[in-house]
């Protein structure tokens, strides 16, 4: 089994991202008082098709159980938290934390907010709610530091998924590529037929980083990929260079307007059959389903090239910030989020599988069932683009280097930038 929480040792608090420039704190903060209705502010970046539906379904379960609590949905748009994280930094630094906020398990939680002493341990909560044996140990490890649990996982997303338009593939008699060679053959056929082979939306650089990490995983294999994050494999290793060359070649097959699109706009190209394939986490499934498409009929999926038997794990989690004055209200929400009912309301809409081991499998379609099976049997790996593999300082540097790489495709220069950034690991 591959270690997910690969990075450790860096005890220093790492400011995740620059604070947002134009953030004005709200005049009033939610508070638990006797004469005012208690309120709960849930901070996330779930505003798009699928993800918003999932969040609203979860809030709905909470509202039914706690009509006395007013829920404020404080979502900030921008995939993978592009804008939300900056707003969060401003709020946390300004002593105005939301009641609870979305944060990825792994380095993003542990090396920033936990290391900075901003989160309350939840071990007592896990004991009281009898949750300790309800989550896979790998997930508990991702949300723990020094034996303390700091957040509650609501889901497991898979990062290394290749989505494709089923009708386009059927018309051209194509099969989902399983290797890089097959990928390029399929891509050439698509190109000859006037269809953009690969949709990319890297208006926010993380989308390209997401594609790159899937190529690293496929070319290196799970064990070597894992070593990148522990410092046991250097970024100027020949294999990393080869993977970067494969990635550069893939970029020859993307839509021309990739830098003007975000991840949803890229998924839309596949949904509409203008492009045939897209590499994205399975929140893209939430997007496709949210648009009324059906897996197996309208769209298909496969592990990204060469990554069969491997599963890049991304877990969205929510915790309890220290400086809030409504911790009991937040715990009521975390209890719903941790429950089978809450997870089974959220995840089928979100495209993810439940973090709990005892959720109702029948609530999930063929994709969800396959992902649950794969999670149990595959080699697991952490995601760089989604904050579990490495600290935010490193992720930001890679994203910055990526912006230049996508246009210049200078492999040597990119590798130099990765090596320099790795000083932060």
Q: Which two tokens stand for residue 67?
A: 């009509």
Which residue, 210 or 415, has its beta carbon nearer to ligand GAL? 210
CA gap 29, 196 in Å, rounded: 48
258 vs 386 by CB, closer to ligand GAL: 386
Least distance to ligand GAL from the beta carbon of 267, Å? 10
- Strand segments (E) across 130-171: 144-145, 148-149, 151-153, 155-158, 161-165
What is the rounded radius of gyration, in angstroms, for the C-alpha atoms of the chain?
21
Residue number, 79 or 321, with CB nearest to ligand GAL? 79
CA atoms within 13 A on the CB side of 129: 20
| Nearer to ligand GAL (CB atom), residue 113 or residue 180 | 113
Task: State CA 124 to chain mean position distance.
Answer: 27
CB of 31 to ligand GAL, least distance (A): 29
Smallest distance from the beta carbon of 386 to ligand GAL, in angstroms? 4
The closest alpha carbon to 384, from 238, 229, 279, 241, belongs to: 229
Joined together, the tokens standing for residue 49 give 């098709």
CB of 138 to ligand GAL, least distance (A): 16
Nearer to ligand GAL, 314 or 320 (CB): 314
Backbone dihedral angles phi then psi of residue 138, each to the nearest 5 degrees? -60, -35
**Which parts of this chain interact with ligand GAL (CB under 6 A)?**
45-46, 51, 79-81, 104, 157, 283, 314, 316, 386
Strand order in the sheet with 151-153: 70-73, 39-43, 100-104, 316-319, 151-153
> Two tokens at 316?
């969205």
Instruction: Look at strands 353-354 and 316-319 and give their pairing.
Output: unpaired
Nearer to ligand GAL, 209 or 326 (CB): 209
- CB 51, min distance to ligand GAL, A: 5
Q: Which residues pair with 353 in a beta bridge?
A: 156
Least Å from the CB of residue 316 to ligand GAL: 5
User: Which candidate, 176, 156, 180, places its Cα nearest to that of 300?
Assistant: 176
Give min distance, CB of 286 to ligand GAL, in A.
8
Q: Which is nearer to ligand GAL, 82 or 90 (CB)?
A: 82
Work out how close the CB of 411 gets to ligand GAL at its nearest, in angstroms, rounded to a whole number.
27
Contact between 125 and 112 under an 8 Å Cβ cutoff? The reply is no
β partners of residue 153: 317
The torsion defined by the Cα of 388, 216, 79 and 301, in degrees rounded to 10, comes to: -110
Query: Of 145 and 386, which has the nearer Cβ to ligand GAL?
Result: 386
């Amino acid at each position: 089994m591959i270690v997910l929480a690969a990075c450790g040792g860096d005890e220093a608090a790492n400011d995740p991202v620059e604070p947002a420039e134009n953030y004005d704190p709200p005049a009033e903060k939610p508070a638990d008082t006797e004469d005012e209705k208690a309120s709960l502010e849930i901070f996330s970046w779930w505003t798009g098709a699928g993800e918003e539906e999932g969040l609203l379904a979860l809030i709905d379960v909470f509202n039914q159980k706690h009509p006395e609590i007013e829920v404020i949905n404080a979502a900030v748009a921008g995939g993978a938290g592009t804008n939300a994280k900056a707003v969060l930094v401003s709020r946390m630094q300004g002593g105005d934390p939301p009641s609870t906020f979305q944060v990825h398990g792994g380095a993003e939680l542990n090396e920033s907010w936990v290391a900075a002493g901003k989160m309350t341990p939840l071990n007592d909560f896990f004991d009281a709610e009898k949750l300790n044996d309800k989550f896979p140990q790998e997930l508990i490890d991702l949300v723990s530091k020094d034996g303390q649990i700091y957040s509650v996982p609501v889901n497991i997303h898979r990062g290394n998924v290749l989505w494709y338009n089923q009708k386009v593939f059927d018309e051209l008699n194509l099969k989902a590529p399983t290797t890089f060679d097959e990928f390029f053959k399929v891509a050439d056929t698509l190109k000859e037929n006037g269809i953009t082979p690969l949709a990319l939306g890297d208006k926010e650089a993380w989308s390209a980083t997401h594609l790159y990490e899937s190529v690293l995983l496929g070319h290196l294999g799970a064990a070597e990929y894992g070593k990148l994050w522990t410092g046991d494999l250097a970024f100027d290793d020949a294999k990393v260079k080869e993977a970067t060359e494969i990635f550069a070649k893939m970029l020859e097959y993307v839509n021309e307007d990739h830098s003007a699109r975000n991840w949803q706009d890229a998924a839309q190209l596949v949904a509409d059959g203008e492009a045939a394939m897209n590499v994205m986490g399975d929140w893209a499934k939430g997007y496709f389903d949210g648009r009324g498409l059906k897996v197996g009929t309208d769209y298909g999926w496969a592990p990204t090239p060469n990554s069969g038997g491997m599963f890049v794990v991304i877990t969205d989690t929510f915790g309890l910030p220290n400086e809030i004055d409504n911790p009991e209200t937040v715990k009521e929400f975390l209890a719903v989020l941790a429950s089978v009912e809450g997870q089974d309301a959220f995840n089928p809409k979100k495209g993810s599988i439940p973090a709990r081991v005892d959720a109702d499998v029948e609530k999930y379609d063929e994709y969800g069932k396959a992902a649950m099976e794969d999670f149990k049997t595959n080699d697991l790996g952490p995601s760089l683009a989604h904050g579990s593999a490495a600290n935010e300082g490193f992720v930001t540097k890679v994203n910055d280097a990526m912006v230049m790489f996508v246009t210049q495709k200078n492999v040597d220069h990119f590798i130099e930038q990765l090596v320099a950034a790795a000083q932060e690991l």
